Amino acid sequence: MQINGAISVHGAHQIKPAAKHTLTETNGPENIFQPNDAVEFSSEANWLNQINNMPDIRADRVEDIRSQIQAGDYETDAKLEIALDRLLDEIG
């Protein structure tokens, strides 16, 4: 088999030293590196993160409260006030 073309294999090459990087002076007397990278999350990503961090729902507790509501035993002024305070704390 014979391969012809512009590409050919040469012998060993010298290893060149890595280029030296220097820091430029910024607003202060110190030379510091200031990266330009930034990460921004969309509002949807923030919303999904909040949903993923919510506690699991306790089905037994939900069923107990539903039965109390149907029986008329759950809704008292004190309980409604506590629920409203908790809701306002979560929103604000």
Is 64 a member of any domain?
yes
**Tens-place pLDDT, residues 6-25:** 555 666 767 777 776 665 55
What is the phi-psi region of residue 6: left when phi exceeds 0, alpha when psi lies from -120 to 50, beta otherwise?
alpha
Is 16 a member of any domain?
no
Is 33 a member of any domain?
no
Q: Which amino acid is at 24?
A: T
Is 59 a member of any domain?
yes
Domains held by the chain: number: 1
Domain membership of residue 57 as a residue range: 43-91
Is 72 a member of any domain?
yes
Q: How far apart are CA 88 and CA 90, in angstroms?
A: 5
Quickly count: other Cβ atoms within 10 Å of residue 67's Cβ.
11
**Tens-place pLDDT, residues 39-64:** 888 999 999 998 888 888 888 889 99
DSSP annotation of 53 reads T
pLDDT of residue 11: 66
pLDDT of residue 44: 92
pTM (global) more than 0.95: no
Burial class of 9 by CB neighbour count within 10 A (0 to 12, 13 to 18, 19+): exposed
